[in-house]
Each structure stands twice: as C-alpha cells, then as structure tokens.
Amino acid sequence: MQSSRDEPVSPAGRLFLQSKTELIINCSIGFKNPLEPEAMKTYVANSLFMKHPRFCSLLVVDAKGREFWRKTKINIDNHVIIHPKNPSLECESEEECEDKINAILADYAVSSPLSMEKPLWELHIISELKCMIFRFHHAMGDGISLMSLFLATCKRLCDGKDAVSDVNVSENKKGEIKKRKGKGNPFIGILKVIWWTILSVMEVIGRSLWVRDKKTAISGGDGVELWPRMVATAKFTLEDMKTVKRTIPHATINDVLFGVISFGFSKYLESRSSQGTNYELQTTYY
C-alpha cells in the first residue's frame, strides 16, 4: 500500500533497478593510520548521511509494480559493517594491500547484492587493510551527488573547515555561466531547444526501429545477467589524467576517463574480431 509520504523513484533510478541494468557503486577509501571502527560508526550515525532522505528510505513496490522511496528508521549496525579480524588480510606493502582490496571489490561487484529489506547502502570497515568500502545502489543517486555528500561529511585537516567548499563552483565561474545564459535572444534560445529536442527524439526513434548493434565479443543475450562474470582492475594516476586534461580545451577528468574506456573497448574488440573494428565506437555517459 502506498503512503502519502512515499516519493516516486526517478526514471534513471528505475532503470538501475532492472535486473539487466542493476548497478551498485563500490568505492574504497584507504587511510594512513589504523581505523577505530566504533568511532567511525558513531561518526557516521551523526553525519549528514543520516539526514539525507535516500539514506533513510526503503525501496518499496506497490501493487502496480511502481517503485517508491519510503522513510524508515535506521539501524546503524545494519549498515556500518565491521569485519572481524582476519590474519589472511594482513599485508606487508601497499601494493599487496591494494591487491587484496581489489579482490574484495571484485567479489562485491559480482556476487554480493544489497538487501532490499533496508536502505540501499552499506559501509564496510576492514581494519587490517586500513580501508573502508562504501556500497551504494546507483538508484540512490549519481556519482557526483554521492561524492559531494561524502565530502560534506568531511573536515579539512589544516583548518577544520568543511571540505565540501572545495568542490563548489567559484563565484567567477558562476558569473560566467550567468553571462553566457544571458546572451542572445531568449526566444531564439527556446526555438533552438525545441529544434534539438525534436532531432534527438527522432534519432532515438530511428535507431530503435532500424539500427541494430553488431554482434561482438561483448554482446549479451538471453539470461546475460546469469552469465559468469570476471572483474579486472587497472590503475591510473591522477597526475597523468590531469596532464591529458590540460592538453584538451574544456576537457574534464571524466572526459579523459571515458576516453580511456572507449579506446580500451575499441582495442579489445579489434583483438577479438577477425575483421577488426571498421566502425567508430561510441560511448554514451551522463
């Protein structure tokens, strides 16, 4: 039964709840010093996470199959999970610790769904590896909003101020955005929006009706969600990505990252196909 306070899940959130497109964000954060699990649990219990509606809401489905967020009380012990001591996780170098963390993330990615009987997030504390692993269902929000929320719960070590101020858009940039928006005839701007919207809709309809993806090494099929899965990891230094970003006008770190992913897919398909890839690979992201 739907409550008057229930909030409908957004279209993007509903997409990430489908069995074939379900996505859980697994994010690990390493620390220089050993963790104090009980102190971390207390900190999370009193943080902004507990005030955010998505972190305090159950996913419910009504009789018609529509998904809603319903506010509920949080039992912090069900969400902040302190892993027991495990001698096999002890390591002698950062590289060894990183390999073990990647192995845990790989296991979570392919075999550990989130329980629907509680809000769709967890925080795992692994003392031996001096790391925390956040697990969020993508239906709760996108990466930028979740990272902004995480930063809002942090303090800068140098002055104790909120770290979230570092990710705010500067006043100069805000002024530039307003200035760009104010240029030109607003009526012409509305016409452009309508025109490009019509073109985009027609393109989507045309692709849906007449265009089919070619069969490749990464094409799915019936029951693809049940196929065996394997996770591989790769390391990119932030400085290298910034170097690439600076050479491309108006580029962002996200642009660089997705460029690497697109190129990687292209090279993989080329190596697995006898005819190579004679078409341009496109990656769409938001």
- 186 vs 86: CA distance, rounded Å: 63
- 46 vs 156: CA distance, rounded Å: 18
Strand pairing partners for 93? none
CATH number assigned to the domain covering 7-167: 3.30.559.10
List the Cα angle 219/204/193 in 5-degree steps: 140
Rounded mean pLDDT of the chain? 81
For residue 130, CA distances in Å to 37, 136, 167, 233 come to 10, 20, 26, 20
66: left (phi over 0), alpha (psi -120 to 50) or beta: beta
Reported as half-sphere exposure (CB side, CA atoms, 13 A), residue 59 has a value of 20
262: which 2 tokens?
Answer: 């697109």
Rg (CA), the chain: 23
Strand pairing partners for 24? 137
Of 148, 118, 150, which Cα lies nearest the Cα of 133?
Answer: 150
Q: Report residues of the chain scoring pLDDT below 70.
A: 1-4, 155-184, 225, 274-286
What is the model's pLDDT at position 253? 87
Q: With helix as H, strand as E and coil as C, how does the chain read?
A: CCCCCCEECCHHHHHHHCCCCCCEEEEEEECCCCCCHHHHHHHHHCCHHHHCHHHHEEEEECCCCCEEEEECCCCHHHCEEECCCCHHHCCCCHHHHHHHHHHHHHHHHHHCCCCCCCCCEEEEEECCCCEEEEEEEHHHCCHHHHHHHHHHCCECCCCCCEHHHHHCCCHHHHHHHHHHHHCCCHHHHHHHHHHHHHHHHHHHHHHHHHCCCCCCCCCCCCCHHHCCCCCCCCCCCHHHHHHHHHHCCCCCHHHHHHHHHHHHHHHHHHHHCCCCCCCCCCCCCC
Of 220, 221, 261, which Cα lies nearest the Cα of 241?
Answer: 261
What is the model's pLDDT at position 275? 60
Within the chain, which residue ranges are assigned CATH 3.30.559.10? 7-167
- Residue 130 — φ and ψ, nearest 5°? 50, 50
Are the CB atoms for 263 and 244 separated by under 8 Å?
no
Strand pairing partners for 135? 26, 122
Question: Does this model's pTM top 0.75?
Answer: no
What is the model's pLDDT at position 168? 46
